Amino acid sequence: MTAAEWVKAFSDEIGAPAPDDAETDDILKLAAVAAHASERKAAPVACFIAGRSGKPLSELLERAEALGPG
């Protein structure tokens, strides 16, 4: 199963919409920024926080990049 297939299956399972390609790219960019600015474990936690925030991914990515290296 590919990552996209797994994400779709998971989103179907929990009744939430799967991200589109642009959203997926922004999520992965956010994860990369968090992982490279800090420790790798910051990536999934940052994405979890982003999901809870209800704010646009573009804004969150911009804010994460503004934090700079850890």
Residue 59 pLDDT exceeds 70: yes
Per-residue pLDDT of 41-57, as tens digits, reads 999 999 999 999 999 99
The first and second tokens of residue 56, run together, are 């646009």
Q: Which of 25, 34, 32, 16 is nearest to 57 (CA)?
A: 25
Confidence (pTM): 0.88
Asked if 47 and 15 touch (Cβ cutoff 8 Å), the reply is no
